[in-house]
Chain A
């Protein structure tokens, strides 16, 4: 069975600071993808960043970057220069090539304060 675990229910960060969200996962597959999605209060689901498991290079999208540790099955998200608009729930997710499912973690609420 595949699992995705986010152990931090809530994180608070000040504007312009950096925050790192943790995600661990478990799968026996070698070919998979990991995602971070953002859900602001509007409830809209927004793709933040995507990582292919066979790529060693960590993905980066502007102020968002990941630390992908395949052996440890860890996929953390770093938000740099935090902005008020980053306040949202952040979900880690796993998708397998061989599997139609797209599985989410429980989420981490990020609150950015002035």
Chain B
């Protein structure tokens, strides 16, 4: 059971470049999330999805886009990368329920924008 898989693990981008962070889960979870974690800080929600075809903004959505065409995949797109997007990005998922279901996290993507 692979759980939540994120690729790549590390990436360096130049200012203005674009990229897609991949996230896939094999647990048939309805809910998926993208967070960013700046050094020494907490996790800020970028986007989340409660099912295929449904996405919504979190606290810090500017500069990012997502799509959810399947239950398994939830890619995060960075357009016109900026130094402020240097961060560690985590994808997470959980099953739909009463709200008490634990989050399963990927191992993170360290992104630097130079």
Smallest distance from the beta carbon of A73 to chain B beta carbons, Å?
16
Given contacts A43-B88, A43-B108, A100-B48, contact A50 B43 (CB under 8 A): no
Inter-subunit contact A97/B45 (CB<8 Å) = no
Question: Would you call B53 an interface residue if the criterion is a C-beta within 8 Å of the partner chain's C-beta atoms?
Answer: no
Q: How far is the CA of A83 from the CA of B92 in the complex (A)?
A: 28
Q: How far is the CA of A60 from the CA of B56 in the complex (A)?
A: 34
Question: Would you call A91 an interface residue if the criterion is a C-beta within 8 Å of the partner chain's C-beta atoms?
Answer: yes
Q: How far is the CA of A107 from the CA of B99 in the complex (A)?
A: 21
A contact residues around B92 at 8 Å (CB) = 45, 102
CB-CB contacts below 8 Å: A23-78 with B: 31-33, 35, 37, 43-45, 47, 50, 52
CB-CB contacts below 8 Å: A56-114 with B: 91, 95-107, 109
Count how many chain A residues have C-beta atoms less than 8 Å from C-beta atoms of the other chain.
27
Smallest distance from the beta carbon of B4 to chain A beta carbons, Å?
10
Inter-subunit contact A102/B108 (CB<8 Å) = no
User: B interface, by DSSP: helix, strand, loop or mixed?
Assistant: strand
A contact residues around B105 at 8 Å (CB) = 44-45
Count how many chain B residues have C-beta atoms less than 8 Å from C-beta atoms of the other chain.
27
B contact residues around A6 at 8 Å (CB) = 42
Smallest distance from the beta carbon of A100 to chain B beta carbons, Å?
4
Inter-subunit contact A107/B100 (CB<8 Å) = no
CB-CB contacts below 8 Å: B9-51 with A: 31, 33, 35, 40-45, 48-50
Given contacts A43-B107, A44-B107, A102-B92, contact A33 B42 (CB under 8 A): no
Smallest distance from the beta carbon of A31 to chain B beta carbons, Å?
7
- Specify which of B56, B58, B102, B108 is in contact with A47 (CB 8 Å cutoff): B102
B contact residues around A43 at 8 Å (CB) = 88, 107-108
Question: Would you call B90 an interface residue if the criterion is a C-beta within 8 Å of the partner chain's C-beta atoms?
Answer: yes
| Residues of B participating in the A interface, judged by any CB pair closer than 8 Å | 31, 33, 35, 40-45, 48-50, 56, 58, 88, 90, 92, 94, 98-103, 105, 107-108
| Residues of A participating in the B interface, judged by any CB pair closer than 8 Å | 6, 31-33, 35, 37, 43-45, 47, 50, 52, 91, 95-107, 109
